[in-house]
Amino acid sequence: MSLNRPLREWAGKRVWITGASSGIGAAVARALLEQGARVAVSARSAPELERMVALHGDTVIALPLDVTDAAAADSALQRIVAAWGGIDLVLFCAGTHQPARAWEFDAGAARRLVDVNLNGVLNGLPPVVRQMLQQQSGAIGIVSSVAGYGGLPTALVYGATKAALINLAETLYLDLSPRGIGVFLVNPGFVKTPLTDRNQFHMPALIGVDEAAREILAGLARGRFEIHFPRRFTRWLKLLQLLPYRLYFALVRRGTGL
């Protein structure tokens, strides 16, 4: 059963993606452009965004943006609405990751993770929600991670930000779905990106960014609230959440070797 209105026909649709200069965000942007969508791309790396404009012309708007700047996020959305008259989907994809163990904890590094991963979404939400309520249409996608399902070694603070995003998306759905606004929660497993290249351990069921983009578009097309993948991995993680902590901790330690 679909919890959201399925999003299938992309020709002419207006999409804004943050974190679009590389990784999953860039792959989703490319996939949507291939299907005829108009895509506004944001990230701190302006040259990567301009390369996308060079390839796709006026179907792309490049909006360099630091998601930790709330005023800049508001201004970016205003530029999109001025150009296209509205917005159909916003995908909050910007994020960062720094592997850490408890004995390596650094409060400054922790705050940077929170600022980008969590506050970066919170900064963009108010103008997006206001615009979609005014339109009485639209959809919001939040890219979290299976690291938000439960505590995992090396995911200190990173996992906490992703858990917060999961809770945020659930609550947004309760508030916005009755008002005709879709909310999608995207929980990838291990996807090969510059961020996961930092990991020093075996990453089971590792997939590429293009496969991740296909999974996201397939989930949007089905109207799923939670889009999690690859399922051969994420289903096991969901099963772990049903176990008592004694078993959960033992199996995580055995599975990760950490």
Q: Is 158 a catalytic residue?
A: yes
Task: Specify the pLDDT at position 258.
Answer: 77
| pLDDT tens for each residue of 60-94 | 999 999 999 999 999 999 999 999 999 999 999 99
Cα gap 146→107, rounded to integer Å:
23
Q: Decide: pTM greater than 0.85.
A: yes
Mean pLDDT of the chain: 94
249, 97, 114, 220: CA torsion to nearest 10 = -90
Per-residue pLDDT band at 40 (split at 50, 70, 90): very high
Cα radius of gyration rounded to whole Å, the chain = 18
Model pLDDT, residue 199:
66
pLDDT recorded at residue 52: 92
Q: Is residue 3 domain-resident?
A: no
146, pLDDT greater than 80: yes
Residues above pLDDT 70, as percent of the chain: 97
Mean per-residue pLDDT for 240-246? 96
What's the pLDDT at 100? 87
Reference 49, options 76, 74, 69; nearest CA is 76
CA distance 198 to 191: 12
Please report whether residue 219 resides in a domain.
Answer: yes
Of the given ranges (8-17, 158-167, 196-205, 242-251), which has the lowest mean pLDDT?
196-205
What pLDDT, on a 0 to 100 scale, did the predictor assign at position 201?
62
How many residues in total does the chain contain?
258
Residue 242 CB partners (closer than 8 Å, separation 6+): none
Residue 149 predicted with pLDDT over 80: yes
Q: Is the pLDDT of residue 198 over 80?
A: no
In a domain, 2, yes or no: no
Q: Is residue 221 part of a domain?
A: yes
What's the CATH number where 95 sits? 3.40.50.720
pLDDT per position as a tens digit, 217-230 = 999 999 999 999 99
Q: Number of folded domains in the chain?
A: 1
Domain limits at 137?
14-256
Residue 89 lies in a domain: yes
Q: How far apart are CA 137 and CA 201, in angstroms?
A: 43
Per-residue confidence (pLDDT) for residue 200, from 0 to 100? 64
Q: Which residue has the tokens 């390839």?
A: 55
pLDDT at 38 over 90: yes
Residue 7, in any domain of the structure: no
Neighbours of 214 (CB within 10 A): 16
User: Of the residues 158, 173, 245, 248, which is catalytic?
Assistant: 158
42 is a domain residue: yes
Q: In the predicted model, what is the mean pLDDT of residues 226-243?
A: 95
- Cis before 6? omega within 30: no
Residue 4 forms part of a structural domain: no
Report the relative pairing of strands 139-143 and 226-229 from DSSP bridges.
unpaired
pLDDT of residue 58: 92
| 244 vs 191, higher pLDDT | 244
Mean pLDDT (whole number) for 174-199: 89
